[in-house]
Structure 1
């Protein structure tokens, strides 16, 4: 698109578009007024909003796919430059800590993406929709502004603003290992069970629960069983008050009220 036409569309979207308020909110969020406003709007439409097959691609999944790849590349390049003497294993673990689902969900929440999702979706929001929307937003920025702008945005407006990279270096996100160690130390038994296996987007998805002394203390769903076990372990650690809820937030629904009488002493 010629630059003059793009400039015209941005001016129109900011001052005259029926959804100019969205254009202005996006400007505050991403640093520019989008020319492709409908593309950015699409980033906040979850597939559950639509029931008709006619709208099968009118959601943020394609943008999420693109944004996931772009985000992973940017983070990999950033870490490669930041840690010139670190090996591949360290870089891989660091990237995983940054782009894992829980981390992206938390960042998206702090960015205020929940408000935009609530505006464009009639269904009840799940926490995973936040991280998906963030990836879709990154994809939309990449489509309109290209790689260099997107890289600058991710590094300066996301990584440096919402993450403490140095703390992540020493952060242990192997919650399953931590829970097993805690249970062994305090004389509790721990067990993991697959509650169900079902199809989601034509892929197998696992619902996993973790039981401590026979009591269910955390559940999670994921396409990867090991990832679901990690997520369930994290929720169990919040429920058992081994870990404080992130940023003082309430324990997720799956684990609320599951502390029972387990003693940490």
Structure 2
């Protein structure tokens, strides 16, 4: 009973020590992690973008760097204990499926992390900002609590084992998949990628996939990397209709 009487007073005192903006941020972070925020400065930094100002300012990039390593360690240890018979190649592939940029972007978008960005001025966000902020959040949480608590939050709230299991049959890179298949079949996969100006003078990249001397598929995208991956995906499904490249392969969408 004494604790119940003290707790509301504690929250009131805590609120009084924070600005309204910081208090609201701490509440939202606690909803995501299930942990009380100890150092709001860490989370303010985790959701601050880099500015054009010449004066050095704290932004999410350092915490993103740290969060990337912490998340990698948590996932590596989880996979090592979950798959005791798996070889290094399988563990590496599984880790890549979990911490790849596309999956982290998805996780960050589901948590609506861009809503917590601290910068007042409007600015253009990069396409990977949600995944970057997700890693920065992990970095801030690790510093705010400890490794074991951070690990518990990741595996119980953010990247649960059931969600990780769903990724087992997910294809991360069609380009890598086609390369592996072509090496086994002793055929040559080649990509011809070039810039193309579309109506409206929009610059795109067109990538054509060749199987030996046969054109298999092509695709256009806003970057060379995206164009080749999209063309590889189309080639994969076209070739898979004729011969099974990977049995029981599943669409990553």
Do both share a fold (TM > 0.5)? Answer: yes
Cross-structure match for 1:155:
155
Structure 1 counterpart of 2:201:
none
C-alpha distance 108-194 of structure 1, shift in aligned 2 (>3 A)? farther
User: How many residue pairs align between the two structures?
Assistant: 211
Aligned match of 1:203: none
C-alpha distance in 2, partners of 1:54/1:209? 41
Provide the residue aligned with 2:98 in structure 1. Answer: 98
Q: Per-residue CA shift, 1:168-191, capped at 9, x if unaligned? A: 22222222256788xxxxxxx973
The answer on 1:62 being equivalent to 2:59 is no
On the 8 A contact 1:80/1:91 being kept in 2, the answer is yes
Which segments of 5 or more consecutive residues in structure 1 lack a partner in the other structure? 1-6, 182-188, 196-206, 222-227, 247-265
Alignment correspondent of 1:31: 34
Gaps of 5+ in 2: 1-8, 182-188, 196-203, 210-214, 238-249
1:198 corresponds to which residue? none
Q: CA 1:131/1:120 → structure 2, altered by over 3 Å: closer, same or farther?
A: farther
C-alpha offsets along residues 182-215 of structure 1, whole Å, 9 cap, x if unaligned?
A: xxxxxxx9734376xxxxxxxxxxx976346797
> What do you get for the CA RMSD once the two structures are aligned?
3.7
Q: 207, 210, 227: which one pairs with 1:210?
A: 207
TM-score normalised per structure 2: 0.68
> 2:7 aligned with 1:17, yes or no?
no
Task: State how 1:1-265 maps to structure 2 within 5 Å.
Answer: 12-13=14-15, 16-19=18-21, 20-47=23-50, 50-55=51-56, 57-117=57-117, 122-160=122-160, 164-177=163-176, 191-193=191-193, 210-211=207-208, 217-220=220-223, 228=225, 231-236=226-231, 246=253
Report SS of the residue matched to 2:207.
strand
Q: CA deviation at 1:121?
A: 6.1
Q: Identify if the C-alpha distance between structure 1 residues 9 and 69 changes in structure 2 by more than 3 Å, giving closer, same or farther.
A: farther
Instruction: Write the distance in 2 (CA, Å) between the matches of 1:151 and 1:12.
Output: 26
Q: Which has the higher contact order (CA 8 A, sep 6+)?
A: 2
1:96–1:60: structure 2 CA closer, same or farther, 3 Å change rule? same
Distance 2:12 2:154 in 1: 22
Cα displacement (A) at 1:108:
0.7
Instruction: Give TM-score scaled by structure 1 length.
Output: 0.66
Offset of residue 113 of structure 1: 1.0
Q: Is the 8 A contact 1:209 1:218 kept in 2?
A: yes
Residues 172 and 252, structure 2, Cα contact 8 Å, conserved in 1: no
SS at match of 1:85: coil
CA drift of 1:78 comes to 0.5
- Note the C-alpha offset of 1:100: 0.8
1:118–1:151: structure 2 CA closer, same or farther, 3 Å change rule?
A: same
Question: Hey, what does 1:249 align to over in structure 2?
Answer: none
Are 1:191 and 1:211, in contact at CA under 8 Å, matched by a contact in 2?
yes
Give how far 1:40 is off.
0.1
Question: How many angstroms does 1:63 deviate by?
Answer: 0.4
Q: Measure how far apart 1:62 and its partner are.
A: 0.6
Secondary structure of the 2:138 match is helix
